[in-house]
C-alpha cells in the first residue's frame, strides 16, 4: 500500500477491514482457459493451461495479449466474495453501489439499531477533530432521542392499520421500534459504518482499481479497493499481473482537477433543480413517444402475427396483463429470459429525482435503472440553513421535527466552521446526515423499471422511495395509459393473475388490501 494512503495518516478511526471469503480456485488460469476454449475443438481446463512450462508460457502470452486488446470477458468468469467492515455509508453510496456490476447484502439501518461510535473519522487538526467528533456524538444522540419521540406516532399509525392489535401493544413493540428508527436514522451522518458481503467479478475488480479515485471519498475508496486487490493477490498472485495504474480522472477529487469546472453558486443550482421538479419527488422528463406501438409491434414480431391478427391493445395486454402473462405473478424475476416479455426493453423513461442519501442508497440497488449521482462537494449549497428531506412520519410528530431541524442546523454550522478552517470538503462532508438530498437524473427501460416499480409500490417499501415510485407510475400512466394501467404493486399483479395469497409477504403483510385500491387511493405514512 502506498505511503500516502497509510490509513494511520488518513483516518483516526479503524481503517476499512476487507476479507476475501470465497473465490474461484485458480482465477487467472480459468480466464486463460476460457479464452483458449473459443479457438479450440474442446473445452480447455485451468489445469491444461498450467500443466507444464510450455503451457504456462503460452498462458502468459495469451493473458497479456487479450488484456491489452480489450478482450476482457474472460475476466468476468471468476468472482470474488468479500466481507467489508468499517466502511462508511458514503463510500458505499458514492462508489461501490453506483454501478450495476456487483452484488451486496449489507446491514440495514431500517431494521438494525445503529450503535454510537461506529463511524469513519478523517484525519484533521486537533481542534477541528474535536468539533467533528462532538458533532458525530450529537447526531447519534439525536438518533436515539428521535427513536423515542417517534414511537407514539408510529404506534398510532400502526394501530390505525391494525386496530385489533391495540389489545396487545406490548407484542408489537419490536415492530414499532423499527418503524421509529427507520425515520430516526435520517439524523445519522453518512460517515456511519456498515458491514456487508460484496461480490464482484474479476473484471469489475480491475475496473474498481483503475477508477478508485472517482467519487466523493477517494481516500477511503482507495483503501477499500487496494485491500480487495491485496486479498486477491494473496489468493492468486497471477490474477492482477496485468493490472493498470490508478487513473486520476477529472472527477477524481471534487473540484481539485483543473479540468473540472467549479460551480459558481451551488445554492442557485439547488433552487433551479428543485423548481424543475414542480412539486414532485420524481418528475418524468423524457420518454419514447411511440412506446405503446413499439411494444405491440414487438409482441407481434415474437409471435409472427400481423396487426389484423393481434391488435395493439391485445398485444400490450398479452405481454403486460398478469392474467395473460403469468410471469408477473412470480416472485422469481424471469422477465429477462422470456422472449415475449423482453418486448418491454424498448420503452424508455428518464426521471429527475430528489431523494435523501438514505433513500437513494436503496434506489441504487436497482442496478439496471442507473442514475447520474452528483459530487456532493459540487452541489453542497453550504451556509447554515440545512438542506433536508423530511419523511412523512417525522412531519407527523411536531416535537421530533423541531428537535431534528434544530440539531441539523447545528450540523450545518459545524460543517461550515470546518470548511472555513481549511478542512477539506471530502472530510467535512462526512458529517452530512442521511437526510441530505441527492439530486440526479435516472433512466431505465420498461422491463427493468417494471420490476423496480412493482417491488417499491409495496407498502412495506421505504416510505420515501415508495412516494417516488408512485410519482413515476402516475406520470407513465398519463403519457402511456395502455402500458401504465398494468403497473401495480406485487399484490395487485398477483390478484390480476388470480394467484393466492394476493400478498406474497406472509407475516409481513402491511395490513392494507392494496390490491383493492385504485392508484388515486395509494397513500401511507409508515
E strands along 139-226, which residues? 193-201
256 has a pLDDT exceeding 90: no
Contact between 365 and 296 (Cβ < 8 Å): no
CA-CA distances (angstroms) from residue 99 to 73, 78, 92, 96, 195? 17, 19, 11, 7, 19
Closest CA to 511 of 474, 464, 455, 458: 458
Sign for the CA dihedral angle at 80, 207, 105, 195 comes to: positive
Residue 176, number of CB atoms within 10 A of its CB: 21
CA-CA distances (angstroms) from residue 422 to 40, 49, 250, 382, 413? 61, 55, 22, 14, 15
Domain ranges of the chain: 3-110+196-235, 126-191+384-433, 287-353+439-521
Whole-number Å distance between alpha carbons of 447 and 345: 5
Whole-number Å distance between alpha carbons of 7 and 86: 12
pLDDT of res. 259: 56
32 has a pLDDT exceeding 70: yes
Better-predicted residue by pLDDT, 118 or 259? 118
48 has a pLDDT exceeding 70: yes
257 has a pLDDT exceeding 50: no
Residues 363-405 pLDDT 10s? 999 999 999 999 999 899 999 999 999 999 999 999 999 999 9
pLDDT band at 250 (very low <50, low <70, confident <90, very high): low
Better-predicted residue by pLDDT, 152 or 4? 152
Residues 312-346 pLDDT 10s? 999 999 999 999 999 999 989 999 999 999 999 99
Whole-number Å distance between alpha carbons of 295 and 313: 10
Percent of the chain residues past pLDDT 90, beyond the cut:
89
Whole-number Å distance between alpha carbons of 437 and 359: 9
Percent of the chain residues past pLDDT 70, beyond the cut:
96
Residues 138-150 pLDDT 10s? 999 999 999 999 9
Contact between 431 and 191 (Cβ < 8 Å): yes
Architecture of domain 3-110+196-235: 2-Layer Sandwich (3.30)
Residues 468-503 pLDDT 10s? 999 999 999 999 999 999 999 999 999 999 999 999
- The mean per-residue pLDDT over the stretch 192-206 comes to 97
Residues 287-308 pLDDT 10s? 999 999 999 999 999 999 999 9
7 has a pLDDT exceeding 70: no
- The mean per-residue pLDDT over the stretch 217-238 comes to 96
Amino acid at each position: 500500500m502506498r505511503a500516502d494512503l497509510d490509513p494511520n495518516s488518513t483516518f483516526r478511526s479503524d481503517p476499512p477491514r476487507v476479507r476475501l471469503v470465497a473465490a474461484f480456485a485458480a482465477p487467472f488460469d480459468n480466464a486463460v482457459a476460457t479464452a483458449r476454449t473459443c479457438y479450440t475443438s474442446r473445452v480447455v481446463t485451468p489445469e491444461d493451461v498450467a500443466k507444464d512450462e510450455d503451457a504456462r508460457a503460452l498462458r502468459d502470452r495469451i493473458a497479456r495479449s487479450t488484456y491489452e486488446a480489450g478482450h476482457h470477458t474472460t475476466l468476468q468468469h471468476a468472482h470474488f466474495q468479500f466481507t467489508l467492515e468499517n466502511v462508511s455509508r458514503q463510500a458505499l453510496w458514492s462508489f461501490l453501489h453506483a454501478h450495476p456490476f456487483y452484488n451486496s447484502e449489507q446491514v440495514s439501518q431500517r431494521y438494525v439499531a445503529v450503535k454510537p461510535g461506529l463511524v469513519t473519522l478523517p484525519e484533521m487538526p486537533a481542534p477541528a477533530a474535536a468539533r467533528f467528533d462532538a458533532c458525530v456524538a450529537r447526531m447519534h444522540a439525536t438518533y436515539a432521542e428521535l427513536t423515542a419521540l417517534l414511537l407514539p406516532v408510529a404506534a398510532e399509525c400502526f394501530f390505525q392499520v391494525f386496530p385489533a392489535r391495540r389489545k396487545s401493544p406490548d407484542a408489537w413493540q419490536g415492530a414499532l421500534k423499527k418503524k421509529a428508527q427507520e425515520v430516526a436514522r435520517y439524523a445519522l451522518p453518512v460517515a456511519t459504518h456498515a458491514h456487508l458481503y460484496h461480490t464482484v467479478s474479476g473484471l469489475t475488480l480491475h475496473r474498481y482499481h483503475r477508477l478508485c479515485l472517482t467519487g466523493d471519498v477517494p481516500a477511503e475508496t482507495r483503501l477499500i479497493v487496494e485491500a480487495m486487490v491485496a486479498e486477491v493477490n494473496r489468493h492468486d498472485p497471477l490474477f492482477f499481473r496485468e493490472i493498470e495504474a490508478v487513473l486520476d480522472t477529472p472527477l477524481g477529487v471534487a473540484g481539485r482537477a483543473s479540468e473540472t469546472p467549479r460551480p459558481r453558486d451551488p445554492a442557485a443550482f439547488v433552487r433551479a433543480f428543485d423548481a424543475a421538479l414542480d412539486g414532485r419527488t420524481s418528475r418524468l422528463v423524457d420518454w419514447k413517444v411511440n412506446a405503446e406501438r413499439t411494444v405491440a409491434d414487438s409482441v407481434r414480431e415474437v409471435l409472427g402475427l400481423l396487426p389484423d391478427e393481434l391488435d395493439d391493445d391485445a398485444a400490450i395486454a398479452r405481454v403486460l396483463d398478469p392474467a395473460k402473462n403469468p410471469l408477473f405473478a412470480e416472485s422469481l424475476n424471469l422477465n429477462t429470459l422470456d422472449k415475449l416479455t423482453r418486448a418491454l426493453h424498448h420503452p424508455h423513461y428518464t426521471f429527475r429525482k430528489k431523494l435523501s442519501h438514505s433513500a437513494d442508497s436503496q434506489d441504487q440497488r436497482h442496478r439496471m435503472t442507473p442514475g447520474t449521482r452528483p459530487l456532493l462537494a459540487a452541489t453542497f449549497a453550504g451556509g447554515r440553513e440545512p438542506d433536508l428531506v423530511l419523511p412523512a412520519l417525522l412531519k407527523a410528530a411536531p416535537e421530533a421535527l423541531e428537535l431534528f431541524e434544530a440539531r441539523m442546523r447545528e450540523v450545518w454550522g459545524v460543517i461550515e466552521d470546518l470548511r472555513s478552517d481549511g478542512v477539506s470538503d471530502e472530510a467535512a462532508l462526512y458529517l452530512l446526515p442521511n437526510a441530505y438530498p441527492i439530486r440526479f437524473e435516472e433512466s431505465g427501460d420498461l422491463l427493468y423499471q417494471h420490476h423496480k416499480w412493482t417491488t417499491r409500490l409495496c407498502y412495506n417499501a421505504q416510505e420515501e422511495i415508495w412516494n417516488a415510485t408512485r410519482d413515476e407510475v402516475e406520470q407513465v400512466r398519463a403519457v402511456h395509459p395502455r402500458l401504465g394501467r398494468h403497473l401495480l404493486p406485487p399484490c395487485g399483479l398477483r390478484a390480476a393473475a388470480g394467484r393466492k395469497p394476493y400478498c406474497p409477504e406472509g407475516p409481513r403483510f402491511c395490513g392494507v388490501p392494496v390490491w383493492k385500491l385504485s392508484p388515486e387511493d395509494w397513500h401511507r405514512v409508515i
